[in-house]
Chain A
């Protein structure tokens, strides 16, 4: 009975996303971003610096950085989209009364929440994979660069989306739909900035500043996953040749190391904990 409820709610959430203009808005944003990046990458090849065009190695290095930049834009769109979907789907339904009729059925609240979570994860992951692959194809066609670990990178980006929407669901069990979306996206931005600050600290050799990034990455794993994804997208050879302070963490669109398995385990635990908290809060909630 529980599995059926989870699957029914997951399918319902996907249908909601498809019908509620969210998919269309995200699709439109994606097309704009991909179009701009196609234009940018094609002009990259013909760009002249001090009277000379880029060498192949330089072009690959620049492509590595720009692909990370564009993928950051993509992950931001995915994060915004799912966070603003996660809020209304739970808090909005409790506020409007839609949840009353659904929860009066022979269903467990935990199954309803898990179903919604699953639907949102599939939606977010699907978006990231489709948009990411489209971006890779554009870069490959324009500059001939294909990221070294596309599957790992996209999986990490999908995980980042899952982390953020899990947080959005937890928030939406306690606060209003709009507020939960705003807080989730705000925290996502704050963690990214903390990551950049930590990177600067690392580059300057200031340990306490560098700690800011590490701690924020533990509290909300979005930035950590994002850094892992960047590492999977960038060209290791070109980066090794370039070296320098950019690689030491000072530049926000390059990442020096892949993710440690321990960090991935922590992320999985984090998602399970936050989802568990959301289930507890939702079960105790009076409608």
Chain B
């Protein structure tokens, strides 16, 4: 009897929690599919009587939404690839070698995760403008890469540490150089870890708002978050268009998350545990 009550209360708790987690997403999707006048009429419809894609059509009409999507993809993917190349190297070195300064470098990388990064925001703006990189998507690629280097290095280092060094040592005895052992032997074994780091980086870049707001105000160069930010300032009451924009911005990250949840969770926890 006691077992049954316990089991039932566990079930109820998990069900309520699920409802609370899913409802906001459900609500924004439902809002985006309602005709404009149903969004603002009483009583609220928890299941719309009519579905429409008008809000989606509308948002492409009132803004260059396809261009924002393109910009976001370009910046997020480019930077995630560059981060991966740089961080694989630094993580490998930090996982396999002990040398003077090793501890300090790890500490410097950890510290970037703890310090309030916005202290650097104003100076970065001035640096970018002196290099003529304001309103240039390269500034975003550069900064997103820099921001993700420490975390990706820490995470990938955790993955490297789980691969026995004997693997590449054997290859090196067979005449491989360290470079080719890394590329041919180690990286293929690490693919799940690399994929999860890539997806983590992509999602961070895709979502980043404040640097993009500072560096970009040319409409043709805006990324999705910047565009959504100016929507809020411009059409604060047009929740039809905004919900459609929000849903479109969320879709890629949700898909990637669904696809890679297991790997990322593994990577995050193991990367953090190994520190």
Q: Do A and B bind each other?
A: no
Residues of B within 8 A of A (CB): none
